Structure 1
Amino acid sequence: MDDYTDYAVNDYNYSDSDNDTSLEFAVDCIIPQLHGSNIFLPTVYYLIFFMGFLGNLFVVLVVCSKSRRSRRLVDTFIVNLALADLVFVLTLPLWATSASQHGKWEFGPAGNLLCKLSSYVIAVNRFSNIFFLTCMSVDRYLAVVKLMDSRYLRSSLCIQACCAAVWLCSLVMGIPVLLYRRVEEFDDKLFCMEEDNSPFFLGLSLTMVLLTFVFPVLIIVLCYGTIIGHLNKHCVATVNPRADARRRHSLKMVLSIIVAFVVSWLPFNIFKVIIIGSQLLNARLTCETQSWQINGLLISGCLAFLNSCVNPAIYFFLDHQFRRRAETLCKTFMGNPKLLQSYNSSASFTNNGTSESFAATGGRTQFQLE
């Protein structure tokens, strides 16, 4: 998260009371950390790290092992999502180490740089994920509702340009994290936290929640609402039942990825908005309310991180083509290289017959419904 949950909320200070690490708020409240958090947090982070690293690396290998002709348009988004999650999970060992030390950030001279960069990577990952999911929803809308009018918008070149724009926007929008995130010292201990809780920064943080979560989710809901309405309206027998089945299957997979993301990140964003709102309003909160906020942000942060290792499981269980490809790749590594070549040839032939992107081949227009 761009403002990380490990006891580093903006206007909270740290103190020790009878050798028990705790959080001291500006209104003289001392909020104890969750019991055993220095054990279960590192454990959760390392589990997410290993599962996310292996799972997303496997996704990249499986999709990139396809021949260019056998790749679907949605595979471009899948690879970019996997790469974003792959880079993100590489930062988790840092946060696991910090959590095991009750939130202290003891990484020597490079501590401040690691604090900024790891927080920046988390922010870019979150932004790119929701933007890619929004693009996938718009792509599904074009494929189902505007299929015959979207030949140029759904071309391979346009999809790649869209992904490049998402990365650029995410990198730029993460810059405030580099500016406002740093290592601060409290009671001779170092912590990675935000350095500013000014109205400008809080307003910027609230705006980022709207731009990178609320608005994209609204676009996604609008796209899928229109898709569902269109499918219900045209529920009569189609000319190509097989193509229609493939289209509906693709819809289910993309929708599952989106639901997983929203469920993972919604609690964190709710707690974040509540905390920012109370700070902007200068609300005098009770110690119990403050404890509920900080611990809620902490737990919801773990849930949000879990999203980085969920997508590979969704691909494997819901995407039949991905599963067949993964099984073929595993068998190839076990000593049957001809099997991969055979799969590429058959997949290319199948995709040429049912294309969701438009391409002129021999004077004919073909379109595939993945």
Structure 2
Amino acid sequence: TSSSPEMTFSNYNYDSAYEYYYGNLTDNETYFFTDSTEVCPSSYLHGADIYLPILYSIIFLTGFIGNLFVITVVAAKGKRNGRLVDIFVVNLALADLVFVFTLPLWAVSASQSGRWNFGLIGNALCKLSSYAIAVNRFSNIFFLTCMSVDRYLAVVKLMDSRFLRSSQCIRVTCAVVWLVSLVLGIPSLVYRSVEDNGNGPICLENTQSLFFLGLSLTSVILTFVLPVLIIILCYGTIITHLQKHCAAAGNSRADARRRHSLKMVLFIIVAFIVSWLPFNIFKTIIISSQLSDAELSCYSLSWQRDGLIISCCLAFLNSCVNPAIYFFFDHHFRRHAKNLYLSCLAKPLLLQSHNSSGSFTNIGTSESSWTTVFRGRLQSFDQKG
């Protein structure tokens, strides 16, 4: 299952060999005591209560605006001008959009050193926000896997995959991905809650349950390692196929379009793996040490906690990266974004022309002239894009 910094690691349970008690020995530092009377700082990340809220706020704003922009542009294309891969693009943007709405909660919590002070609804917010993070993580990797398989079918098995690459089949696939992701996120609802560690309420997971720890480790393998292997296999086969058939005769325009979509999907996948790989590595190390009852040093405990907090921030950044990839690396998306901008700009100008016209003839003439002007602008932008 997925995690976020405060809800998992603000009150990390290191097992009975490392019994600890939180105490505010200074205003900004939290310490825990091991059975060897060693005093250990729970974190070496000084100033986290300042830069984490700022970072979460930036991710929220850019992720909200960017993903809403992606959905608007793709929806404005319509079925006539849309691509099959756009169905996955919209679903990815929707998953990221739902996720970023939880970040203000974590920004507030981070500004209070991980405390979850949301009153009577605090426990419900803890569970729901954790659930949203889990569903986002699962749905993202599954959609990216589906996009990789779609690119494989489009390049390698084009003539044998007409049904699998139909819009109806892809929509059904997206519905199945959402359903599976919603089910896999359920443990976040069950095993996360608000608890008081002596310094105030904190949203954290139940690390006492061996079942939950085993489930978390299994989910890392099944929902990250296995999909990444499938993605690598798909793209390895695609690259091999293109190298063998690069000189083959065919529709050069369609081939260029497939290569362009292939490149765009590859950028998205690389961004996702780079963002989420550190998190999954730290998550696996921590769960393995818990399951094995390993006695870790003071430095190792803090290193694990700080590493996961940083890797969580990196993973969260992925929610606002995809819109930038679409805009800068997808000429098809950028062209439609420009068209949408110009059409929105044309409406107030047409309205102004309408209000200033004195007759029906003038209205028709003005509208026609504005239409001609903006068609010329669209054509010039299309040539540049």
Q: TM-score when scaled to structure 1?
A: 0.89
Contact 2:196 2:202 in 1 (8 A): yes
Contact 2:123 2:194 in 1 (8 A): yes
Q: Report the residue type matching 1:19 in the other structure.
A: D
Q: Does 1:231 align with 2:242?
A: yes
1:199 shift after superposition: 1.9
Q: Does 1:102 align with 2:113?
A: yes
Secondary structure, counterpart of 2:99 in structure 1: helix
Matched residue count: 344
What residue in structure 2 maps to residue 158 of structure 1?
Answer: 169
- Between stretches 26-35 and 197-206, larger displacement belongs to 26-35
Contact 1:98 1:106 in 2 (8 A): yes
1:195 shift after superposition: 2.2
Cα-to-partner distance string for 1:80-139 (whole Å, 9 max, x where unaligned) = 000000010000000000000000000000000000000000000000000000000000
1:23 shift after superposition: 4.8
Q: State the percentage of identical aligned residues.
A: 63
Greater helix content:
2
Cα distance, 1:342–1:180 mapped onto 2, change above 3 Å: farther
In the alignment, the residues of structure 1 paired with residue 341 and residue 246 of structure 2 have an alpha-carbon distance, to the nearest angstrom, of 39
1:204 shift after superposition: 0.6
Q: Does 1:15 align with 2:26?
A: no
Contact 1:85 1:125 in 2 (8 A): yes
Structure 1, gaps ≥5 residues long: 347-370
Cα distance, 1:46–1:180 mapped onto 2, change above 3 Å: same
Q: CA RMSD in A?
A: 2.0
Cα distance, 1:25–1:129 mapped onto 2, change above 3 Å: farther
Cα-to-partner distance string for 1:340-366 (whole Å, 9 max, x where unaligned) = x979xx9xxxxxxxxxxxxxxxxxxxx
In the alignment, the residues of structure 1 paired with residue 153 and residue 194 of structure 2 have an alpha-carbon distance, to the nearest angstrom, of 46
Q: Does 1:36 align with 2:47?
A: yes
Q: Does 1:4 align with 2:1?
A: no
Contact 1:271 1:293 in 2 (8 A): yes
In the alignment, the residues of structure 1 paired with residue 60 and residue 34 of structure 2 have an alpha-carbon distance, to the nearest angstrom, of 34
Give the alignment partner of residue 251 of structure 1, picking from 250, 259, 262: 262
What residue in structure 2 maps to residue 184 of structure 1?
Answer: 195
What residue in structure 2 maps to residue 279 of structure 1?
Answer: 290
Q: TM-score when scaled to structure 2?
A: 0.85
In the alignment, the residues of structure 2 paired with residue 222 and residue 86 of structure 1 have an alpha-carbon distance, to the nearest angstrom, of 29
In the alignment, the residues of structure 2 paired with residue 133 and residue 111 of structure 1 have an alpha-carbon distance, to the nearest angstrom, of 33
| Equivalent residues in 2 for 1:5-84, closer than 5 Å | 5-6=5-6, 8-9=8-9, 10-11=12-13, 14-24=22-32, 30-33=40-43, 34-84=45-95
Q: Does 1:312 align with 2:312?
A: no
What residue in structure 2 maps to residue 218 of structure 1?
Answer: 229
Q: Does 1:264 align with 2:264?
A: no
What residue in structure 2 maps to residue 331 of structure 1?
Answer: 342
1:71 shift after superposition: 1.1
In the alignment, the residues of structure 2 paired with residue 116 and residue 25 of structure 1 have an alpha-carbon distance, to the nearest angstrom, of 29
Q: Does 1:141 align with 2:143?
A: no
1:67 shift after superposition: 2.0
Greater strand content:
1
Structure 2, gaps ≥5 residues long: 15-20, 351-370, 380-385
Q: Does 1:90 align with 2:92?
A: no
What residue in structure 2 maps to residue 113 of structure 1?
Answer: 124
- Between stretches 190-199 and 77-86, larger displacement belongs to 190-199
1:241 shift after superposition: 1.5
In the alignment, the residues of structure 2 paired with residue 23 and residue 159 of structure 1 have an alpha-carbon distance, to the nearest angstrom, of 51
1:30 shift after superposition: 2.7
In the alignment, the residues of structure 1 paired with residue 240 and residue 142 of structure 2 have an alpha-carbon distance, to the nearest angstrom, of 24
Cα distance, 1:335–1:314 mapped onto 2, change above 3 Å: same
In the alignment, the residues of structure 2 paired with residue 73 and residue 29 of structure 1 have an alpha-carbon distance, to the nearest angstrom, of 57
In the alignment, the residues of structure 1 paired with residue 313 and residue 28 of structure 2 have an alpha-carbon distance, to the nearest angstrom, of 23
In the alignment, the residues of structure 2 paired with residue 25 and residue 294 of structure 1 have an alpha-carbon distance, to the nearest angstrom, of 16
Cα distance, 1:37–1:156 mapped onto 2, change above 3 Å: same
The higher radius of gyration belongs to 2
1:6 shift after superposition: 2.0
